[in-house]
Structure 1
Amino acid sequence: MEQVGKTSVFAYFDEAKKIRAATNSEIRAGGGHPVSSYLELAKKVADLQFHNREHVLLFRGQASDFKNRLRNTTLKPGVLRSDANHPLNPPGPDELGLRFQRLKHFERRLVDIFEHKKVLGRQRVARHRILRWSILQHYEICGTPLLDVSQSIRVAASFASMGEVPTAFFYVLAVPNISGVISASAEAGLQTVKLAGICPPNAVRPYIQEGFLLGEYPEMPDFDQKQHYKHYEIDFGRRLIAKFRLDLRSFWADPNFPKVERGALYPDARDPLFKLLKPLGK
């Protein structure tokens, strides 16, 4: 994918009080702009959108800020992430080959389950790889070349707050204009999937999480295609225009802006699609 802000974008950068010009590389290398409350974050995101109006902003929250060998923030899709024991070493060819084989296996099983249960929209899922990946990724069945994000500030900040840590990270990613359920930009090398438009209407999690998925365009069907890309190219950190460091000791203190609790983010007991897919994860 193409890097946003090769020259500069408008960003809140580290300790700077006001929005200013910064490059993607500077933002990724920094420690993150400190934020102490939800309302402060919402106001600063609004400022970012106003100053970067050529982009649509999507959000991701994490308890930790993972770095690559250059000490830059890395936001890689699950199928391409480094092993936890060797976080700075990208997975080798053999491991990647196995991961893509596993992905294809679960794609076939997903199609079979949808067909057997006569799930609404099963024909589209059988025909389009990106839809299969989206469902497998969002319901955490296996790693895919896609990255989960949200259009909701509160949802992303709530995900960031799920760990038992005093500080968490909130990422703002810039994507091209979204013009439908699946939007692809050849210029940016990026596609965006709106989960609510591709999952069956009885699926609960995608609507609660206001979920989107980001992927390479053209999509990467297998390991052979992956070999045409360098590891640093397939990193959604390249779309980062702001990194906020949340002080969780005070962030959710205002009762008017409560955190979305885990049980609401993952309403599994009331999600028919989760129950349908649960056997896949075993």
Structure 2
Amino acid sequence: MRQIFGKLTKELNKHTNSKDVGKDIGFPIKSYRDLVEQVAKLSYLNKDHLLFFRGQKNDYKNKADKSTFYPTIYRGDHLTQEELDYRFDKLNSASKILVELFRKHKVDGITEFRRKKLIQWSVLQHYEVTETPLIDITQSLRVACSFAQYQNEQESAYIYVFGLPYYSNRISNNSEHDLVNIRLLSITPPQALRPYFQEGFLIGTEDITNEYEYKGELDLNNRLIAKFEITNNDDFWGKDFDRIPENALYPKNDKIENICNEIESKIQIELAPMNIGNFLKTWTTLENSLIKRSRKYIRETHRLRDALYILMKYEENLASLYKQIDSLRMFRNKVVHKPLSVENGELTYQINILNQVNEQIKKAHNTV
């Protein structure tokens, strides 16, 4: 996402500058009314941007000592490509399970939900099912403050102000700023209560998943305009305002929350302790090598099923091995298309078989 530097109020300019907002300590605020007034001034000064907020108990810093706001899927100082691939495999698996459960429970809007990954990811992120490339923010300052103080035993909390492009659709893609902004109120089904009370939005970097050139472009601190440190007590709200209670932030009888809780347990059964990402990665390597080998006999071969048929015909001495791979191919399809039906014991067994077959194929091809 493109970096911006916001315009600050007179009070904030005495405390920091637009380039060091993330590095400096938060501007101290003692009351909600004072915070509202500061934000109103910021909104006036930054007319080119729409202001959004995020509340946190702690001010998390990166190695450069700046406040950092990575989506959960990109968090970690030493995030390897293997770990990132695993997280996206887990996300894709959770998405498929979610679609199946939405269909099973007859949730409204299943046709659109099945087609749009961003909507699936939004639900998974907002209900904290698994890591996603999206991060939660809100347009409600009261919601942000309530979250910052929620289950917070420290003396203070933090409110962050971000400047984002004006949105015009439920899912707004801004190619100039490399941002996608998702309005939860507009894309989640009516059975989802939490987004309605939290006035939630989700932000991500456009067109980037598990491959990127520079990780820093995924950090929402690129859009940080101001940082406030508020007091964590009832006096902060004064007589005229009050924090949002827990039963409003996390309303009971939320049908989508119940479905998401079911997903979490199924992901654990499906993935732990083995990694579906490793299975699919090993499978893809094997698949590509077999298709390439089959082209020695018939050049126009593009599908694994055809490649196996060709190899069984021309390499009869390895036919039994190729038949075993065909059985693994059917399991691979099950993993991809019906993850809900895969149990961890079966996955563990098939991974061991795949590794053994892969080694046998390598040895056989080196001697043929």
2:189 to 188, 200, 208: 200
2:224 to 236, 240, 243: 240
1:11 aligns with 2:8: yes
Give the drift of 1:277. Answer: 2.1
Give the drift of 1:96. Answer: 1.1
Cα distance in 1 for partners of 2:15, 2:165 equals 19
Give the 3 Å change call, closer, same or farther, for CA 251–177 of structure 1 in structure 2: farther
Cα distance in 1 for partners of 2:72, 2:12 equals 34
Q: Deviations over 1:27-72 (max 9, x none)?
A: 1111111100011101111110000011001100000001111001
SS at match of 2:236: coil
1:35 aligns with 2:29: yes
| Amino-acid identity (%) | 35
Give the drift of 1:250. Answer: 6.0
Q: Deviations over 1:109-130 (max 9, x none)?
A: 0111112222111111111111
1:105 to 68, 85, 93: 93
In structure 2, the partner of 1:60 is 54
Unaligned runs of 5+ residues in structure 1 are 83-88
SS at match of 1:27: coil
1:51 aligns with 2:45: yes
> Within 5 A, what are the aligned runs for 1:127-146?
127-146=115-134
Unaligned runs of 5+ residues in structure 2 are 266-368
1:214 to 186, 199, 203: 203
Cα distance in 2 for partners of 1:128, 1:209 equals 22
1:77 aligns with 2:71: yes
Whether the aligned pair in 2 keeps the contact of 1:58 and 1:150 (CA below 8 Å) is yes
In structure 1, the partner of 2:330 is none
Q: Number of paired residues?
A: 264
What do you get for the CA RMSD once the two structures are aligned? 1.7
1:151 aligns with 2:134: no
Cα distance in 2 for partners of 1:194, 1:93 equals 30
Moved over 6 A (4+): none
Q: Which has the higher helix share?
A: 2
Cα distance in 2 for partners of 1:119, 1:161 equals 33
Answer 1 or 2: higher relative contact order, Cα 8 Å, separation at least 6.
Answer: 1
**Which is further off, 179-188 or 18-27?**
18-27
Computing the radius of gyration from Cα coordinates, the structure with the larger value is 2
Cα distance in 2 for partners of 1:150, 1:156 equals 7
Whether the aligned pair in 2 keeps the contact of 1:181 and 1:193 (CA below 8 Å) is yes
TM-score normalized with structure 1 length: 0.89
Give the 3 Å change call, closer, same or farther, for CA 261–229 of structure 1 in structure 2: farther
SS at match of 1:242: strand
Give the 3 Å change call, closer, same or farther, for CA 250–260 of structure 1 in structure 2: closer
Give the drift of 1:173. Answer: 0.7
